[in-house]
């Protein structure tokens, strides 16, 4: 199963190439806390980092200076240099990698991954279900608060057949009276079902975001096969930042690369990923209806 950390690595490989960008790195020689304003790196590789931005795990830190002999690194602005650019100051274990000027910070990649996951809805939905016992005088029943739309409803027939027949005559109420239905969601069922029989409501809901690096992708509610779709979506969101970087002509690297990399190159790459994303999204949309047909759609075809 694919975790959030593995998704981050897949996105980085797509953006930087499978040989990676050979970013300059060092490693912590001792653990550091979230309020530390100095930290220790391996003295033999501390020269790989420089004044400016470094990344440790998901945190961005501003470096003021370092001692090549001891490996001691000072943080710019004291505590103000920790958790830079909206990241969170955190504890880091010894041997954690310290990356100088990361092209695509992990925090930004994780944000792009979750933005892509959220954007899949409502084109691709997560399914949930609930069972309701038919009560003779009752027409309207409460639904869970996570319900965003009803996909189909079935009702159990009386007898040994074990058949659950489609119930096409229902109405979803997303603005139900909270005084009667605390979730604010309900469904009105108008088909005849014998009292005491079970009625199953299959509904759509939005996906869950991934928070921890160890979170499995399926925690979103989507199947494992969507991972490449999410990778393409994250890439199309991140690549345009390279085009913006071309405007930073005070950077030596940008100035040197400008004659070699044509204008709008990043835009073209973003369009490629957008095309791959759209193709896979269309495939999964079709497959979604094949695997879990909406009875109203199926009967009307």
Residues 69 and 87 in one domain: yes
Distance CA 35, CA 57 (A): 15
Distance CA 135, CA 142 (A): 13
Residues 116 and 9 in one domain: yes
With a CB cutoff of 8 Å and minimum separation 6, the contacts of 152 are 166, 202, 293, 294, 295, 296
Residues 224 and 298 in one domain: yes
Q: How confident is the model at residue 298 (pLDDT cuts 50, 70, 90)?
A: very low
Give the model's pLDDT for residue 297: 45
Rounded to the nearest integer, the mean pLDDT of the chain is 90
Domain assignment of residue 38, given as a range: 23-102
pTM of the predicted protein model: 0.86
> What tokens does 150 get?
């009803």
**Residue range 210-240, pLDDT digits in tens:** 999 999 999 999 999 999 999 999 999 999 8
Rounded to 5 degrees, φ, ψ at 283 are -60, -45
Residues 178 and 219 in one domain: no
Domain count, the chain: 3
Of the residues 70, 102, 134, the one at which a domain ends? 102
Give the model's pLDDT for residue 18: 75
**Residue range 41-58, pLDDT digits in tens:** 999 999 999 889 999 999
Residues 191 and 93 in one domain: no
CB atoms within 10 A of CB 39: 25
E strand map for the chain: 25-27, 38-40, 52-56, 59-66, 72-75, 97-100, 126-133, 140-142, 149-156, 164-166, 170-173, 186-189, 198-205
Residues 85 and 185 in one domain: no
Give the model's pLDDT for residue 20: 59
pLDDT at 257 over 70: no
- Percent of the chain topping pLDDT 90: 78
Residues 235 and 297 in one domain: yes
Shortest CA distance to 117 belongs to which of 218, 17, 238, 204?
A: 218
């Amino acid at each position: 199963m694919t975790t959030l950390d593995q998704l981050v690595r897949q996105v980085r490989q797509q953006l930087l190439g499978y040989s990676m960008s050979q970013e300059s790195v060092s490693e912590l020689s001792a653990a550091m806390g979230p309020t530390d304003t100095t930290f220790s790196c391996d003295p033999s590789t501390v020269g790989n980092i420089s004044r400016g931005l470094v990344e440790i795990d998901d945190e961005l830190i501003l470096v003021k200076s370092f001692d090549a002999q001891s490996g001691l690194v000072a943080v710019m602005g004291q505590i103000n240099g920790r958790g830079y650019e909206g990241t969170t100051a955190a504890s880091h274990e010894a041997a954690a990698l310290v990356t100088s000027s990361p092209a695509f910070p992990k925090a930004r990649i994780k944000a792009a991954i979750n933005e892509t996951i959220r954007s899949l809805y409502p084109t691709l939905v997560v399914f949930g279900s609930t069972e309701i016992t038919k009560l003779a005088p009752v027409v309207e029943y409460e639904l869970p608060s996570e319900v965003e739309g009803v996909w189909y409803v079935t009702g159990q027939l009386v007898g040994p057949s074990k058949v659950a027949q489609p119930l096409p005559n229902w109405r979803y109420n997303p603005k139900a009276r909270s005084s009667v239905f605390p979730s604010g969601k309900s469904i009105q069922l108008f088909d005849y079902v014998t009292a005491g029989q079970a009625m199953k409501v299959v509904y759509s809901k939005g996906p869950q975001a991934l928070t921890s690096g160890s979170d499995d992708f399926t925690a979103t509610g989507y199947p494992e096969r969507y991972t490449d779709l999410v990778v393409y979506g994250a890439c199309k969101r991140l690549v345009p930042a390279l085009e913006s970087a071309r405007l930073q002509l005070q950077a030596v690297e940008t100035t040197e690369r400008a004659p070699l990399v044509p204008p709008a190159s990043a835009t073209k790459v973003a369009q490629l990923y957008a095309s791959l994303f759209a193709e896979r999204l269309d495939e999964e949309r079709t497959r979604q209806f094949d695997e879990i047909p909406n009875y109203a759609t199926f009967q009307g075809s």
